[in-house]
């Protein structure tokens, strides 16, 4: 049975909930057409999140890794295509770190591509009636930090493993006092990530779109 490692973050920036972990925790240990999902929470902290992820790769030994993060203000499921070697924080992380214009991996490549079938994932989610798109900017906060670090680890140590990052919108409760910001229900986002998992597992033996 193929194994998928699915990660979400803890709340940050004054929030009491993070939809990425709410979705990931719902899918923990779910068996989907010959694959099993292992979900883990990561801290919204530069470097610490990467160190924990490195250990998870050793312990879980997944075939596919999908990291999920919150992107407040976005209106759809955003399948990230590229991670850049830059941490440039507008706000502090959960341990008060606030790197400015710092490389994630000194001397590393400027960017890494996702190795998930990003176009196929977005198309499959849209086919189910859920808004989705391919995104070309994962930002420069902890989400991009984790995404770049993950791709670097896999390029160096796990070349056969596939991996990438997906951003999801706020939950409706998070926009109760932000009436102009979009949101998406937990049930819909769970369905979208389930579709992303099923589509991604095919990339283990098929070319990336």
80 is catalytic: yes
| CATH number for the domain formed by residue range(s) 2-204 | 3.40.630.20
Q: Spot the catalytic one: 22, 38, 67, 143.
A: 143
What pLDDT score was predicted for residue 203? Answer: 65
Q: Spot the catalytic one: 152, 167, 190, 194.
A: 167
Q: Can you give the chain as a three-state secondary structure string?
A: CEEEEEEEECCCCCCCCCHHHHHHHHHCCCECCCEEEEEEEECCCCCHHHHHHHHHHHHHCCCEEEEEEECCCCCCEEEECEEECCECCCCCCCCCCCCCCECCCCCCCCEEECCCCHHHHHHHHHHCCCCEEEECCCCCCHHHHHHHHHHHHHHHHCCCCEEEEEEECECHHHHCCCCCCCECCHHHHHHHHHHHHHHHHHHHCCCCC
What pLDDT score was predicted for residue 205? Answer: 54
28 is catalytic: no
What pLDDT score was predicted for residue 207? Answer: 46
Q: Dump pLDDT digits (tens) for 85-96.
A: 999 999 999 999
What pLDDT score was predicted for residue 202? Answer: 78
Q: Dump pLDDT digits (tens) for 164-176.
A: 999 999 999 999 9
What pLDDT score was predicted for residue 208? Answer: 44
**Sequence-ordered list of residues with C-beta below 8 angstroms from that of 1, at least 6 positions apart, any chain:** 31, 34, 35, 36
Q: Spot the catalytic one: 80, 145, 152, 190.
A: 80
**What are the residue ranges in the chain where pLDDT is below 50?**
207-209
145 is catalytic: no
State how beta strands 35-42 and 2-9 pair.
parallel
Nearest CA to 91 out of 43, 167, 142 is that of 142
Domain ranges of the chain: 2-204
């Amino acid at each position: 049975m193929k194994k998928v490692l699915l990660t979400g973050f803890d709340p940050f920036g004054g929030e009491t909930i993070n939809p990425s972990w709410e979705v990931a925790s719902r899918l923990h240990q779910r068996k989907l057409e010959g694959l099993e999902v292992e979900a883990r929470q990561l801290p919204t902290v530069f470097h610490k999140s990467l160190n924990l992820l490195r250990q998870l790769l050793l312990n879980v030994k997944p075939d596919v890794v999908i990291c999920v993060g919150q992107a407040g203000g976005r209106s759809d499921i955003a399948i990230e295509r590229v991670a850049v070697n830059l941490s440039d924080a507008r706000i502090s992380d959960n341990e008060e770190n606030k790197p400015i214009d710092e490389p994630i991996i000194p001397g590393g490549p400027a960017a890494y591509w996702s190795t998930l079938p990003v176009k196929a994932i977005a198309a499959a989610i849209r086919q189910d009636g859920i808004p989705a798109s391919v995104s070309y900017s994962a930002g420069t906060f902890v989400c991009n930090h984790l995404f770049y670090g993950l791709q670097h680890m896999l390029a160096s140590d796990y070349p056969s493993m596939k991996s990438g990052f997906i951003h999801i919108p706020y939950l409706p409760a998070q926009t109760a006092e932000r009436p102009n910001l979009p949101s998406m229900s937990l049930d819909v986002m769970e369905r979208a990530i389930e579709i992303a998992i099923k589509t991604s597992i095919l990339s283990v033996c098929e070319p990336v779109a």
